[in-house]
Amino acid sequence: MKRGMKVGDTAVVEVVVTPDMFAQFEGHVVHPVYSTVSMVYHMEWASRKIILPYLEDHEEGMGAAVFVKHVAPTLEGSTVTVTATVTELRDHVVMTKVEAKNGERLIGVGEVKQVILPKEKIKEMLQATLHS
């Protein structure tokens, strides 16, 4: 990993809630609001944006854990801003605190753990999984 990443670094993802982000299972909309699944995706994306400038050509990041609390609903057409902030760096592990807001209203909080590994190591891990 390239040098320079530090605790406190942030990245933001901003999206407008659309019907494809609604809470749904097997194509059936349960609630016409921003889903937890979409929130997790955007939290992981914001966290990934932090690491991208620091990856070496031979490295890639892998999600290792996500902890999320979805605290408020958000309607279609609302703008959701997800902010990830680095809280811990150790070895090749990057921990981020994530917050999702609709304007000033907090709608979700959590943590994302990413591990930076050589692409070759990831390939080996996937091959081992295929053969187990």
Write the pLDDT tens digit of every residue in 91-121. 899 999 999 999 999 999 999 999 999 999 9
Share of the chain above pLDDT 70, in %: 100
Rg (CA), the chain: 16
What own/partner pairs with CB < 8 Å and gap ≥ 24 does 40-45 have?
40/66, 40/68, 40/110, 42/13, 42/15, 42/80, 42/82, 42/100, 43/68, 43/82, 43/84, 43/98, 43/100, 43/108, 43/110, 43/112, 44/112, 45/13, 45/82
Evaluate if residue 61 carries a pLDDT over 80.
yes
pLDDT value for 34? 98
Evaluate if residue 71 carries a pLDDT over 80.
yes
pTM (two decimals)? 0.94
Distance CA 95, CA 63 (A): 10
Average pLDDT for the chain: 96
Higher pLDDT, 53 or 91: 53
Distance CA 85, CA 28 (A): 34
